[in-house]
Amino acid sequence: MAAGRSTTHDIEIRDDIVIKRYRSWERGEHRREWAALNVLALHAPGLAPAPVRADLDGSPPTVVMSRLPGTPLRGLPTGPEQVRALATALTHLHQAIPGADPLAPASRPPLNPTPGHVLKPAAWHPAAAVAHVRALAAAHPDLGDSPGTRRAFTLGTAWLSDPSLDRLPANPFPPVLGMADGNLANYLWDPDTARVHIIDWEDSGLADRAFELAEVAEHISHVDGDLDSGLLLAHLDLAPAEAARVHEFRRLLALGWLLMLGPDGPATRRNPPGTLDRQAERVLALLDS
């Protein structure tokens, strides 16, 4: 959920490599990305760019990686083939790293990262999301006069006040390597191989799989295309307990986007007219299911 955040890096794209120079790195973006690329190169080659070289102590820090083929899914028509490929990529990401089995009991030893490349907790995580959305609601943002939007706000803030939401960030499953960013622009569809590749790992780290899946399903980038989030989740064969957590996180994240879409909201200028009303309908549907 990065509305209002300015571009955090400059990109130079060459024939076979991409050079990423960071404009800000207070969250350790460059180190997060470099660690993730190296772990993935060992355990899931081809899913993400391959690491080439890095200057992590430079000013600005720089990471050089391979260039991957494909077109961002954001704004792209997404039929069953693309949705299936996205589900396959997410499953591969969440299961390929040793110790990252989302169906394993919580007593299983934690994820064991590649030596020399430590995976820190992801920059965007459930506890931060709960606090962020509650803060947005408490500020009573201007969401206009639409009856549907007002109803979504009323029901959403009532749901936010439920004490059970305080327990949601406690993950009963082992962590996975996650993107911490559901923007569909980060998922590249390659029609030649019918695969989806994943880019932009600057917020990545140890993550809650249910939260990560909800991020992809509910990121506001869905308004630029026609991603069927229900079909995507159906391809993932979630256990009942995890599916229930995904649904709760979807409610939380969808409501968060609604609260940033008012006339002067930080997410408004980046999205097409009518997004606020569509998002209110989405929130109401999720709260009602």
The whole model's pTM is what?
Answer: 0.92
Nearest to 65 by CA among 86, 91, 92, 45: 45
pLDDT at position 218: 98
Q: What's residue 24's pLDDT?
A: 87
DSSP state letters, 151-168: HHHHHHHHHHT-GGGGGT
Structure tokens at 65: 């990686």
Residue 53 dihedral angles phi and psi, to the nearest 5°: -165, 165
Query: First-to-last CA distance in the chain?
Result: 23
284: which 2 tokens?
């109401």
Q: Are 254 and 215 in contact (CB under 8 A)?
A: no
Check residue 115 and give its pLDDT: 57
- pLDDT value of position 3: 58
Both tokens assigned to 91: 């499953």
Residue range 208-254, pLDDT digits in tens:
999 999 999 999 999 988 899 999 999 998 999 999 999 999 999 99
Residues of the chain with pLDDT under 70: 1-7, 98-116
Residue 198 tokens, joined: 């994943």
Q: What is the largest CA-CA distance in the chain?
A: 55
Q: What DSSP character marks residue 44?
A: S
CA 192 to each of CA 49, 68, 71, 113, 195: distance values in angstroms, whole numbers, following the listed order: 17, 12, 11, 31, 8
Using an 8 Å Cβ cutoff, are 16 and 187 in contact?
A: no
Give the SS3 label for residue 21. strand
Where exactly are the structural domains of the chain?
69-287
Kindly indicate whether the domain formed by 69-287 is annotated with CATH number 3.30.2130.10: no
**Number of other CB atoms surrounding residue 287 within 10 Å:** 16
For residues 285 and 248, the answer to whether their CB atoms sit within 8 Å is no
Pull the structure tokens for residue 17.
């490599």
The confidence score (pLDDT) of residue 84 equals 98
Residues in the chain: 289
Query: Are 148 and 132 a contacting pair, CB within 8 Å?
Result: no
Structure-token pair, residue 113? 């990262």
What the block records as the tokens of 162 is 């439920």
Residue with tokens 């180190």: 31
Q: Tell me how far apart the alpha carbons of residues 65 and 52 are, in angstroms, rounded to a whole number.
A: 5
Structure tokens of 221? Answer: 């980038």
